[in-house]
Amino acid sequence: MRPLHPDRRPAVVTGASSGIGAAAALALASAGHPVALGARRVDKCAEVAQQIRDAGGEAVVHALDLADPDSVKAFAESVTRSLGEVEVLVSNAGRLTPGTIHEVETDVFGRDIDVNLMGAHRLVRAFVPGMVARRRGDVVFVSSDVAGRARPFVSAYTASKWGLEGMAHAMQMELEGTGVRASIVRPGPTRSELGSDWSGEDVEFLIGKWLAWGHARHPRTLRPSVIADAIVSTVSAARGVHINVIEISPEAPITDPESP
């Protein structure tokens, strides 16, 4: 007989203060998961958590800085005390610094790698051993379409997402037979706060270069809730089913057949 998911499946979402992370927390809570929200902006997470509670769900908030190993350790301990053993981990937090690769300072380059890749590994170390011991659990890595096709002038972000997917694919093989599933959700252009601190000049420059290299074929972007729905579908799959990779792209506007 195929094993079933437990009735209670506490979920962790990182980068939960806005964008995809906030949408994922809301969607998981709506699907019945108790949710722990982690980010540096605890006040923003608290607002999302209150929305969950107002809708009848269960949510807790704990501070989390993925670049700080002590913060990750304290976060994992606090979440377990608050909600119990974690069944679902959504590794979503990330940072993106624009710049020309040969001009970016190495420590700046390294900060993006540290959060996006090393931070994800810190989460894995904190939560996955317990999942393996219980012989069940879901880990979802929120990647990016840059992992399939590099994008210029965001080199550290691109490198980190390539590395993240390499780690995730290796995990999929290493975890086979443990009952723990590692999955990748790879969004295309999505409306979020990532890049909201860039200058207008940086935005204009990047969009121009991305257009030149064919990275923006049309102006449409995805809503964060679309990515959240994919995350919920991934972790809700029946045991015995492993959704390895989901890539989501915005559909182009429908063209008028009468137009030239």
Which residues contact residue 171 at a Cβ distance below 8 angstroms, ignoring those fewer than 6 apart? 124, 139, 182
The enclosing H or E element of 170 equals helix 155-174
Separation of alpha carbons 182 and 126, rounded Å: 15
143 is catalytic: yes
- In this structure, the chain runs to a length of 260
Answer for the pair 65, 114: CB distance below 8 angstroms, yes or no. no
Candidates 17, 160, 161, 192; catalytic one? 161
Candidates 155, 157, 160, 183; catalytic one? 157
- Give the N- to C-terminal CA distance of the chain in Å, as an integer: 59
73 is catalytic: no
Candidates 18, 143, 155, 160; catalytic one? 143
Separation of alpha carbons 105 and 102, rounded Å: 8
161 is catalytic: yes
Give the burial string for 96-111 (b: 16+ CB within 10 Å, else e): bbbbeeeebeeeebee
Catalytic residues: 143, 157, 161
